[in-house]
Amino acid sequence: MPAPHDASKQNAIDMAAARAKTSINVSTLRDFLYNGAAQWQKRERVSNILVSDPLFNKSQRPFLTRKELYIRGQALTNRLYELAENHKWTPEDVQLAFGVVSDEVLSINLHNIAFEPVFLLQASPELLSQYGDLIAKRGILGCYLQTELGHGTNVGRLETTATYIPETQEFELHSPTLTSTKWWIGALGKTSTHGVVQAKLILPGGKDVGPHLFFVQLRDTETHQPLPGRILGDIGPKAMGAYAATDNGFARFTHVRIPKSHMLSKFAGVTDEGKYVTPPHAKLSYGGMLYIRSGMVTAAGWLGAKAATVAIRYATVRRQGTLDPASGLESQVITYPSLHARLLPILARAYVFIELGRALSRSFDALARDLSSGNTSQLAEMHVMTSGLKTLVTTASIQDVETARRSMGGHGYSAFAGLGKLYADYVPSATYEGENYVLDQQVLRAGLKTFNLIFSNPALASASPADKAKLATRLPGTSRYLRLLLDPSLCPPDCIIHPADDVVGTAISLLEWRAAALVKEAAQTQKDGTPDATATQRVAKAVTEAFVGGTREVRVVEKVYVLYLLTTLESALVDLLSFGLYVPPKTEAAGDPARGLRLAIGQFCKELLPEAIGLTDAFGYSDWDLDSALGVHDGRVYEALWARAQDEPLNQTEVTEAYEASIKPMMLRGRRAAGASAKL
Q: Which of residues 590-629 bind its own copies (CB under 8 A)?
A: 590-595, 598-599, 601-602, 605
Cβ closest to its own copies, residue 20 vs residue 680 = 680
Cβ closest to its own copies, residue 208 vs residue 330 = 330
Smallest gap from residue 336 Cβ to its own copies (A): 9
Smallest gap from residue 12 Cβ to its own copies (A): 13
573: CB partners within 8 A, 6+ apart: 582, 594, 597
- Which span sits near its own copies by CB under 8 A: 257-265, 377-385, 525-533, 558-566? 525-533
Q: Is 639 a catalytic residue?
A: no
Cβ closest to its own copies, residue 85 vs residue 167 = 85
Dihedral angle of Cα 413, 416, 422, 423, to the nearest 10 degrees? 10
Query: In angstroms, rounded to a whole number, what is the distance separating the alpha carbons of residues 318 and 330?
Result: 9
Q: If DSSP codes are grouped into helix, strand and coil, which group holds residue 371?
A: helix
Smallest gap from residue 384 Cβ to its own copies (A): 19
Binders of its own copies in range 179-238 (CB under 8 A): 179, 181, 183-184, 189-191, 193, 221-226, 233-238
Smallest gap from residue 220 Cβ to its own copies (A): 9
Q: Is 495 in the site for its own copies (CB under 8 A)?
A: no
532: region left, alpha or beta (phi > 0 left; psi from -120 to 50 alpha): beta
Angle at Cα 140 formed by Cα 136 and Cα 146, nearest 5°?
90
Max CA distance (Å), the chain: 100
Binders of its own copies in range 146-185 (CB under 8 A): 147, 149-154, 157, 176-179, 181, 183-184
* Catalytic residue (one of 170, 402, 433, 639): 433
186 is known to lie in a ligand binding site:
yes
- Contact in structure between 369 and 272 (CB atoms under 8 Å): no
Cβ closest to its own copies, residue 321 vs residue 585 = 321
Cβ closest to its own copies, residue 504 vs residue 667 = 667
Query: In angstroms, rounded to a whole number, what is the distance separating the alpha carbons of residues 183 and 160?
Result: 12
Binders of its own copies in range 623-662 (CB under 8 A): 638-639, 641-642, 644-651, 654-659, 661-662
Q: Is 665 in the site for its own copies (CB under 8 A)?
A: yes
Q: If DSSP codes are grouped into helix, strand and coil, which group holds residue 107?
A: coil
Query: In angstroms, rounded to a whole number, what is the distance separating the alpha carbons of residues 357 and 44?
Result: 22
- Contact in structure between 671 and 349 (CB atoms under 8 Å): no
- Sole binder of its own copies in the list 34, 89, 214, 416 (CB under 8 A): 416
Binders of its own copies in range 279-338 (CB under 8 A): 320-321, 330, 337-338
- Sole binder of its own copies in the list 51, 120, 140, 463 (CB under 8 A): 140
Smallest gap from residue 429 Cβ to its own copies (A): 10
- Sole binder of its own copies in the list 17, 19, 32, 74 (CB under 8 A): 74
Binders of its own copies in range 532-571 (CB under 8 A): 532-537
The sign of the dihedral angle between the CA atoms of 223, 227, 231, 236 is negative
- Sole binder of its own copies in the list 459, 461, 574, 589 (CB under 8 A): 574
Smallest gap from residue 217 Cβ to its own copies (A): 9
- Sole binder of its own copies in the list 27, 37, 59, 82 (CB under 8 A): 82
645: region left, alpha or beta (phi > 0 left; psi from -120 to 50 alpha): alpha
Q: How much is the CA Rg of the chain, to the nearest whole Å?
A: 28
Q: How far is CA 605 from CA 323, 338, 564, 601, 634, in A?
A: 21, 11, 11, 6, 24
Q: How far is CA 420 from CA 107, 326, 632, in A?
A: 21, 35, 16
Binders of its own copies in range 423-462 (CB under 8 A): 423-424, 427-428, 430-432, 435, 437
Q: Is 589 in the site for its own copies (CB under 8 A)?
A: no
Indicate the DSSP class of residue 175.
Answer: -
Q: How many residues bind its own copies (CB under 8 A)?
A: 157
532: CB partners within 8 A, 6+ apart: 525
Residue list, annotated binding site: 147, 186
Catalytic residue ranges: 433
Q: Which residues are annotated as a binding site for FAD?
A: 147, 186
